[in-house]
Amino acid sequence: MNETLAGFEQRRLAELKDHITTRAAAERDRRPRRRISLAVAAGAVAAAVATVATVTSMGGGDPAYAVSKDSDGIVYVTVRDFRDAEGLSRQLADLGVPALVDFVPAGQKCRDERGTVVTDVPRGLYYPPTQIPGDKEGLGWRMQIDTKLFKPGQTFVWTLEVDPVYGWTGTSTILMHDPVAPCVLVPDDRRHNVQTVSAWPATSLRGYEVGGKTVGEVRPEIDKRGLKVTYLITEPHPDSDRLPPEIARSVPYVMYPSKQNTPVGEDWFVWQADERQPGTIRLMVTPKLNGRAGVDQ
């Protein structure tokens, strides 16, 4: 499906605004989300369930996924663990959904050459995945698919990716013409936005401002507190001059997974820190600060 550059940039900007709105709501609730949320509501229709398949998760508790089909041909899917993507694909196929489900770890992506996208998707064939109500962990997805609306030679491709910056999960759903190539994992060379998120403060560095200091200045404080340190290597957002000021301030930097092995110098700048794991501080560092982020070099 062809798309003009201007249209693509407008769509990405809209997605970015929605993403930041979601993050702001999470901060207000003081319960940070750990994944991207696609907020598209789907009404549930009560019907007799003809078939149900569940698979227990590796750690017990809630099932990894549950798939059911009602007498009207609607398939309901609830997923909490995508690591058995192949098994979920088989269960969907058994219930009449021609599907490929892929799990993509952080730092990787599916190779682009997979097939041709269906542009005239029937209305109501499927709804984008939404959060599972009452899921306290926020790790699950649910969706519904109308098996009656598939045309011959079509495959539903459902991909879940782990964000390499924050570890939350994002999902994409695409209808494609057959044949669809399998997901071949390759190193992720895409640009990922890095936000200024006050919902994830470096709690162990509370009272010590890291923004604008060099790595050489911050490391002694971290060592004094007996903490370990890791780095997220970033660089100023290349489109910051074209973005609205509020967006540029919220997403001042980007990261590339392929550049994370770059040696970090003592003269590099720290602009944010978080504690992703207890006892380990992650410093977001860059050789050059972004003036629009509110800190000039």
* Residue 197 domain-assigned (yes or no): yes
Average pLDDT over residues 146-160: 94
Angle, vertex CA 72, rays to CA 70 and CA 77, nearest 5: 40
**Residue 171 belongs to what domain range?**
35-186
* Residue 26 domain-assigned (yes or no): no
Encode pLDDT of 22-42 as tens digits: 444 443 333 333 333 333 323
Same domain, 251 and 167: no
* pLDDT over 60 (residue 229): yes
Same domain, 81 and 204: no
Same domain, 158 and 243: no
- Burial of 49-88, coded b for 16+ CB within 10 Å and e otherwise, reads eeeebebeeeeeebbbbbbbbbeebbbbbbbbbbebbeeb
pLDDT of residue 177: 96
CB 180 within 8 A of CB 157: yes
pLDDT of residue 184: 95
pLDDT of residue 64: 80
pLDDT of residue 62: 66
Same domain, 131 and 145: yes
* Residue 123 domain-assigned (yes or no): yes
* Residue 130 domain-assigned (yes or no): yes
* pLDDT over 60 (residue 270): yes
Same domain, 58 and 160: yes
Which band of pLDDT confidence, cut at 50, 70 and 90, is reported for residue 207? confident
Task: Please say which residue of 159, 186, 213 terminates a domain.
Answer: 186
Same domain, 145 and 270: no
- Token pair of 297, please? 């070099």
Which band of pLDDT confidence, cut at 50, 70 and 90, is reported for residue 8? very low
Same domain, 177 and 62: yes
Task: Please say which residue of 186, 207, 238 terminates a domain.
Answer: 186
Please give the full DSSP string across 185-239, using - where no structure is assigned: EEE----EEE---TTS--GGGTT---TT-BHHHHHHHHHHTT-EEEEEE-EE-TT
Task: Please say which residue of 186, 218, 237 terminates a domain.
Answer: 186
**Which one-letter DSSP state was computed for residue 265?**
P
Same domain, 144 and 209: no
Angle, vertex CA 173, rays to CA 76 and CA 86, nearest 5: 70
Encode pLDDT of 103-122 as tens digits: 999 999 999 889 999 999 99
pLDDT of residue 32: 33
Q: Give how many domains the chain has, as a whole number.
A: 2
* pLDDT over 50 (residue 51): no
Residue 7: φ, ψ to 5°: -65, -40
Same domain, 271 and 207: yes
Same domain, 44 and 180: yes
The DSSP bridge pattern shows strands 99-104 and 154-162 to be parallel
For residues 258 and 31, the model is more confident at: 258
Which helix (H) or strand (E) is 90 found in, with range?
Answer: helix 85-94
Q: For the chain, how big is the Rg over CA atoms in Å?
A: 22
* pLDDT over 60 (residue 53): no
Which band of pLDDT confidence, cut at 50, 70 and 90, is reported for residue 136? low
pLDDT of residue 171: 82
Same domain, 196 and 181: no
Closest CA to 15 of 245, 188, 172: 172
For residues 183 and 54, the model is more confident at: 183
Count CB neighbours of 89 within 10 A: 18
* Residue 77 domain-assigned (yes or no): yes
Which residues does 21 contact at the CB level (< 8 Å), separation at least 6?
none
Same domain, 196 and 172: no
